[in-house]
Amino acid sequence: MRRETLVLVTHGGEKSIDIEVAETLEEKSLGLMFRTALADNQGMLFPYGRSMEITMWMKNTYIPLDMVFIRPDGVVHRIAARTEPLSEAIVASEGPVSAVLELAGGAAERLGLKVGDTVKHAAFKTAPKK
């Protein structure tokens, strides 16, 4: 998987996160399964390239995660915090989004990330202009 950096723009300022980008269907299917640790400054981005309802689950995922559902403009639409490890329950975006950022469980709160905040990355219209 490709490694990059994205920026969370919160009320408390900007915070850089080192991410892996799950681009292929195989990478998206595997996601963070079988991992046993994830630091607060790390995550995985699942870009879908178009706005739609997205559903995730925690099958074979051993650590709790925060699932951050992001609109095409980079605005955080929903945060499913501390999802249950190994659960096959569906976690839905509850509206159209174009990407999901998975962070360590509780990291969104520790980083001050809230619904309405912005994510800067090439996958969103918030990407810096070159």
For domain 2-120, give the CATH number: 2.60.120.1140
pLDDT for residue 128 is more than 80: no
The 3-state DSSP class for residue 25 equals helix
The pLDDT, as a whole number, for residue 125 is 84
pTM: 0.95
Arithmetic mean of pLDDT, 62-91: 98
Distance of alpha carbon 71 from alpha carbon 57, whole angstroms: 19
84-125: pLDDT as tens digits: 999 999 999 999 999 999 999 999 999 999 999 999 999 998
The pLDDT, as a whole number, for residue 51 is 96
**DSSP assigned state of 81:** E
Residue spans per domain, the chain:
2-120
The 3-state DSSP class for residue 106 equals coil
For the chain, percent of residues with pLDDT exceeding 70: 96
